[in-house]
Each structure stands twice: as structure tokens, then as C-alpha cells.
A and B are shown apart, each in its own frame.
Chain A
Amino acid sequence: MVALEKALVGNRRYWTWIGALLVVIALGVLSYLRQLQFGLGITGLSRDVTWGLYIAQFTFLVGVAASAVVVVLPYYLHNYRAFGKITILGEFLAISAVTMCLLFIFVDMGQPGRVLNVLLYPTPDSIMFWDMVVLSGYLLLNAVIGGITLGAERKDVPPPRWILPVIILSIPWAVSIHTVTAFLYSGLPGRHLWLTALLAPRFLASAFASGPALLILLTMVVRRLARFDPGQEAIQKLSLIVTYTMIINVFFVLMEVFTVFYSQIPEPMSHFQFLFVGLDGHAPLVPWMWASMALAVISLVLLITPRYRANERLLAVACVMVFASLWIDKGMGLIVGGFVPSPLGHVTPYVPTLPEVSITLAIWAVGVLMLTVLYKMALAVREELA
């Protein structure tokens, strides 16, 4: 692969970081081996709450992956030069996010040895089949685009012409991965938290807020660690995108709240009650959901006020808040909340177990490791040219 040797040289700090990630991964692998042996009963999941932390992380990370489009689209379609330096960072973020998605699906399977059945018995009726198609396609697209553009950059030549249609294709494809992921949930007849046409738009809005917020933070980190300046303009433009998408996301959430509570239909209301005030004496997610709301409001104050947004330190705080708020909302509330109460009205609380958390952290560590290596390659190529 192009420039992979660049990832094999680094200072002490680099190798300490890589080592720490490998330790987290190793612990997760041990937990996974135990899960393989005992079964998914090792997690906090139950007959009523059949999806939890794994599938919620998957859902959240599909959004992060899709968000690469907010730098790819302005740069390639509108020739917006300021994003020139960070486009590759967005694409590489997408690659590691999709990889994490696939790993989260894999560890959630009861019979991982039968994973190829999805290819042996393709089922176009199933949204999960389409999700697999669009996710693996997106991974392939970004790997090809990232590899070709970085390779050309290294040789200091413009990328081949044939890559442009591939890049253009990746734009609607990015939208498709999160739309199809929303369809996984919004087409189920008995799950009233998800049974809303607003789910896919909400997914996209929250993705296009959390992803670029993460990208801003990553570019800030990279700027400190390497001789790399994405430029003031790129960060400020990204922050404007985060501001608008976060406003749209909160607007969508309020739309949902209005419809559910003004109509007063019990089943859709019961899920919101479980999430925000508790139901039948169970309120495990209540503090989390209110924290998510508070973070959203404070981050919006910081983002909307031009003076605060222009201040990079405050912008970083706002980005952390946006990311945390949306992680709680999507990475915890939306999936678990859809299962409680159950179709029979039972309230079964779900709390992830230690092995489950360990496996989850390990997959995040795999993603961060991939991101580290990919960014290291990209930056080394740039430094070489400079």
C-alpha cells in the first residue's frame, strides 16, 4: 500500500501511543474470546433489549463515516480550495469509521462463523442486506480514492482523471449509507420510537454535525503533533457547517417531541418517557439524556455566537460537546430506547457489562489505530514534499 512504510517510523511518543492502543485491543480480544465461548449472555442484553452498545456504536459510526462528504463535496464539486488539505483526513476518517462499523456488527452476531451466509443467501427484502452492500461499497470507494489521491500527491502529480467520477459517486453514496442505516429501524411496525419518516433526516443531520466536529478536533490535534497547517479558513468553514447541522438536528428532535406529545398516543410517548423521566421505576438513561440535551444547548450557544466560534479554544470545547451530546443521543438513547418498553409493555433496563464495554473500547481502539497510521502516512507524504 502507498506510503505504508511511513507509519513504521516515529518517535517515542508515537510508539507509546500505538502500544497503548494495542493493549486496549488485546484486552478486548480476550473479552471477545470469552464471549465466543459463553455466548452473548455475557453482555447486558436480554430477550427484551436485543441490541445495545455494539449496534448503537455501529449506528453512530455510520454517521461519522458518512460525514466525510462535507469536505469532499465542497472541494471536488465546488472547487472549494480551503478544504484541499483536509479532504484526505476526512476520507481516512471514513475508512476507519466504516471498519469499526463492520467490527461492531461482527461482534454482535450470535453465530459469527456463519457471517458468509449473508453473501451465500443474498436477500434483497432485508434492509440489513442493503446496509452491508452500501457499507462495504463505501469502504472500497474511500480506500481507492484515498490511496490514489495520496499516491499522486506523493509523486507530485495530479491524480488520474478516472478517479473524479469515483469521487463524485462517493458523495451520494455517503448519504446512502446513513439513510439505509436509518431504514434498518424506521421500517419496523412495532417499534414506535423508530417508526418515523424523520429518522433518516435526523440521522443525517446528527452525522453531519458530529463527524465534522470530530474532524475539527482531529485537525487541531494533528496540527500540534506534526508540521501541518490545515489553514484557519478550513477550520472556520467546518465550524460553520457544524453550527448549521447541529441547529437542524436539534430542530428535528423538537419536531419529533411535538408530534409525539401533542398527539398523546401512548406508545410513542412511552419511549420518550423512559428516556427522559423514567418508566415503571426504571430510569437508567435519564441523567445521560439530560446531559445530552444540556451539551447540545451549550454547544449551540458557543457555535452560534460568532465571537465564540472564532475563538479556537472555545470552538474545540463546543466540538467536544457536540460530539458527546450526539454520541449519547445516538450511541445510547436511540437504540436502547427503541426496545424499552417492549412490544408487550415490559420495562427491562439494560446496562452494558464489563466484557461488553471492553470489546467496545477495543473496537474504538482499532479505529483510532487505523486513523493514526493513515494520518501518519498522509502527513509524512506532505512533509516530504514541503
Chain B
Amino acid sequence: MSMDRRRFLEVAGLSALAVAGKRGFDALTDGGRAEGATERRPAARWAMVIDLRKCVNDRGCTDCIAACDRAHNVPHFDERAHEVKWIWREPFEKAFADHGSPYTEDAFKSKSLPVLCNHCDNPPCVRVCPVKATWKRDDGIVMMDYHRCIGCRYCMAACPYGARSFNWLDPRPRVKELNPDFPTRTKGVVEMCNFCEERLAKGRAPACVEACGEQALVFGNLHDPGSEVRRLLRTRHAIRRKPELGTGPNVYYLV
């Protein structure tokens, strides 16, 4: 793993302290409008960097997917129509239709890569939800309230990445091994990747990141100039899916 647990805990802990400290300071100084507090230090901005040179997804590795499914009680349906997916494999030409040319075929056509919710800076799914069942946190994670969702699926029409799944049938009988620490869902609600916010809260890296034996998945805070994700984005060429749509995706792919 590119970021060991100690380093991760340090960053997460410091970020949390900084946010808490700032809030306390704001409260004492009239909502942060006092002199010296005008420059608001933003909260963490979580992002993922996927190194396609290291990822062996196309050689049949599904460690990240299996870890996510286990951690989040993701059900397995045989019919493609009813699939529920948080992180899954997609051929390069599907995930990056606008990137390849006829001559890059050998290098990339066979390549498949993990795709997941991009936790956009400007998420269309959040914009369209009629009941605020999906919303963006200050640290950029797009969240989902399974208890408020009315199942209208407008967010699925709005997401340009196909990142959201609907529970067409009762998912509970289709969960392979139940993880009692994470809720199961009911039929008729939408779900998607939550960047493992439940693990971040405990200072742990996302399940997929931890599970990757190749350390191809790196997770971190974009607002911390010293973070591993920032270092990778500084030194390597990274692409994102459909940035031209103005969504501001936060999953980066190193090519």
C-alpha cells in the first residue's frame, strides 16, 4: 500500500482535528468573520488514484471488488438487469471511450479497469434527487440515505458514469456472507460506493484500497499538498472519466 496505516491515521486525525479546531475557533470569533479567520481552511477532499500500470484487473484479479462486496453486503444477482455494483470491472474502451485510437488497441483494448462512483465535486445525482436522499459531505463524499430514498431512480438517469444501482428485488437473500457491521438494503432503493466513509470515520483506508495486493489503489486527501495522492498527481499523467461534463470526478487513473 502506498500509504501505510500510521501515515493514514496521522493525516486523517490531523484533518479531523483541523476541522474541529476551525469550527471551535469560528464559534468563538463570530462565525469566522473576525480578522485572521477570513481564510477558511477547507475540510479534507477525499480522492482515489488508480495506477493502471500496477492494476492486474485485466488478468482476472477481483480482490478490490470482493473486498468491497464483503464490506458492504453487496448482493449478487445472476441476471445482468438486476446487478448491484459498487466497484466493478469495465473495459478501457467503455470507461474511456474518448481516449484510445485504432492504434492503441494492443496496449489498451484488452485492458479492463476498476470503476466506481467518482464522488464528483459537482454531482448531477445530488442535484436531481427530489428528497435529498443523496447529498455531498464537506469532505466531498457523496452519501446515500437508504431510509429516505423513494426509489424514483432520477439519480441513475443523471449519473453520467452509470455508478448507481437500484434494488430491483429484495437484496438480502442474495448477500453471500453477511457483514453485521454494515446495513443491508431493502428492495426499491438506490445505492452506490460511499468511499468507505464508515471506515474513514475509524481512520481506516477504504476496503478496496486495503485489499489491493499490487497497491494500485491509493486513497488520500487532495487538500493536503503532502499527501500520496497529490504526489502521484504531481508526478504522473492522470486522466479522469468525462471531465468535460463539468462534474469534477475525484477518481484519477494513472496511465
- Give A contacts to B, CB under 8 Å: 38-41, 45-48, 50-51, 105, 108-112, 114-115, 117-118, 120-121, 123, 125-129, 132, 184-185, 188-191, 338-339, 342-346, 348
Indicate with 1 or 0, residue by residue over B183-200, a CB within 8 angstroms of chain A CB atoms.
000111110000000000
Cβ contact of B168, chosen from A39, A123, A127, A343, cutoff 8 A: A39
Write the nearest CB–CB distance from B219 to chain A, whole angstroms. 23
A112 to B188, CA, bound (A): 9
A109 touches B152 (CB 8 A): yes
B window 174-229: CB within 8 A of A: 186-190
Stretch from B32-40, B55-63, B157-165 contacting the other chain: B157-165
A50 touches B153 (CB 8 A): yes
- Residues of A with C-beta under 8 A to B170: 39
Indicate with 1 or 0, residue by residue over B232-255, a CB within 8 angstroms of chain A CB atoms.
000000000010011100000000
B167 touches A39 (CB 8 A): yes
Rank and list the top 7 A-B pairs by shortest CB-CB distance, nearest first: A110-B151, A190-B160, A110-B188, A46-B81, A41-B168, A39-B187, A41-B169
Interface-central residue, A108, A110, A123, by most chain B CB under 10 Å? A110
Contact residues of A: prevailing secondary structure: loop
- Residues of A with C-beta under 8 A to B189: 110-111
B17 interface contact, C-beta 8 A: no
Interface-central residue, A38, A50, A109, A184, by most chain B CB under 10 Å? A50
23 contacts between A and B (CB under 8 A): A39-B167, A39-B187, A40-B168, A40-B188, A41-B82, A41-B169, A41-B187, A46-B80, A47-B166, A50-B156, A108-B152, A110-B150, A110-B167, A110-B188, A110-B190, A128-B152, A184-B154, A188-B157, A188-B160, A190-B160, A339-B157, A343-B162, A344-B162
B165 touches A47 (CB 8 A): yes
B149 touches A111 (CB 8 A): yes
- Residues of B with C-beta under 8 A to A117: 131, 133, 148, 150
Residue of B nearest to A131 (CB): B130
A110 touches B90 (CB 8 A): no
